Amino acid sequence: MDGSPASSASPSPGPAGAVRPFSVVRDRVPADIAARVAARFGPSGGVGDAVDGRAAAAVLLAQADRDILRGAFGLNRFLTVELTEREEGTGTIEADWLGAPPVERGFYLSLTTGTAYGLQCAVLVCDELTRRGVLTPERRGNIELCLHEAIANAIVHGNLGIPSATKEQPEGYRLFSRLLRERLGDGAVRQRRIDIFARWTADSLSIAVVDQGNGFDAAALPQDTDSGAHSGRGFVFMRALARRIHVTDGGRCTLLQFDL
């Protein structure tokens, strides 16, 4: 296992929280991280596809913005990982982010909640899928909506821990806004990760969205939502537009599958 940076010429990290360009390219994914991803996504999720167990990672530093993320995608690495403000830009890979061995066609993006909120991650991921020739304009709209809903759930209900029912009470929208601001202001909560793992074949696309929240009971989700309800339609959209939706990890992982 080797978590050291590929180049000793990488710049040293700046002040915590500063926006800096991605600057560290790692050339190996630790075996324990690869095993965790394999356990989560199954043996076909990557280990068998690994090339000598090595995977290059484009590593973002804390508080990446859209341009930095697009630039990192442009390196065509399998892993794109945002380091938290507490991590050294050139240190060993910490165990609090998931990595994955390379698959022939796929990529893995890991961002902190603070960065993912407001970044329109679904747009960026779909832009990248389009750039890599996976999405056509005809397919994109429905896939982007499903991915957006999964990411929004992971951020709001998962990592920020705000119950969907909050908005159903009188003036619940005001409480919802207040809870959003409070949770996003909590440094520890902002550091929780949103991981997005996209893989595809010639005729299908799978995207997993993983959070670090408390999870939920997927079996308790209603099949439909009252037409006047203020919440609960995200899964209605995903069920209607994806070929298959599967919730695992006690509600922390939503796997979306689409025909291409």
Shortest spacing between CB 256 and another protein, in angstroms: 15
Nearest to 150 by CA among 166, 126, 130: 126
Query: Which value, in Å, is the radius of gyration of the alpha carbons in the chain?
Result: 18
Does 114 participate in binding another protein (rule CB under 8 A)? Answer: no
Specify the amino acid at residue 54.
R
Site for another protein in 178-207 (CB under 8 A): 180-181
Between residues 94 and 224, which has the closer beta carbon with respect to another protein?
224
Does 16 participate in binding another protein (rule CB under 8 A)? Answer: no
Beta bridge partners of 59: 24, 81
> With CB under 8 A as the contact rule, which of the stretches 94-102, 212-220, 229-237, 245-253 interacts with another protein?
229-237
For residue 86, what are the contacts with CB-CB under 8 A and spacing of at least 6?
A: 16, 191
Does 229 participate in binding another protein (rule CB under 8 A)? Answer: yes
Specify the amino acid at residue 239.
R
Candidates 33, 156, 208, 256; binder of another protein (CB under 8 A) is: 156
Shortest spacing between CB 135 and another protein, in angstroms: 14
> With CB under 8 A as the contact rule, which of the stretches 13-21, 152-160, 193-201, 245-253 interacts with another protein?
152-160
In the numeric block, the tokens 């609090």 are attached to 96
Between residues 50 and 180, which has the closer beta carbon with respect to another protein?
180
**CA distance readout (Å), 107 to 33, 36, 165, 228:** 15, 16, 34, 38
Does 221 participate in binding another protein (rule CB under 8 A)? Answer: no
Neighbours of 183 (CB within 10 A): 19
Does 86 participate in binding another protein (rule CB under 8 A)? Answer: no
Beta bridge partners of 111: 194
Shortest spacing between CB 181 and another protein, in angstroms: 8
Candidates 6, 152, 218, 221; binder of another protein (CB under 8 A) is: 152
Distance CA 23, CA 188 (A): 24
CA 258 to chain centre: 18
What DSSP string describes 136-160? -HHHHHHHHHHHHHHHHHIIIIIIS
Shortest spacing between CB 85 and another protein, in angstroms: 21
Q: Which residues bind another protein (CB under 8 A)?
A: 117-118, 120, 141-142, 145, 148-149, 152, 155-156, 167, 173-174, 176-177, 180-181, 225, 227-234, 236-237, 240-241
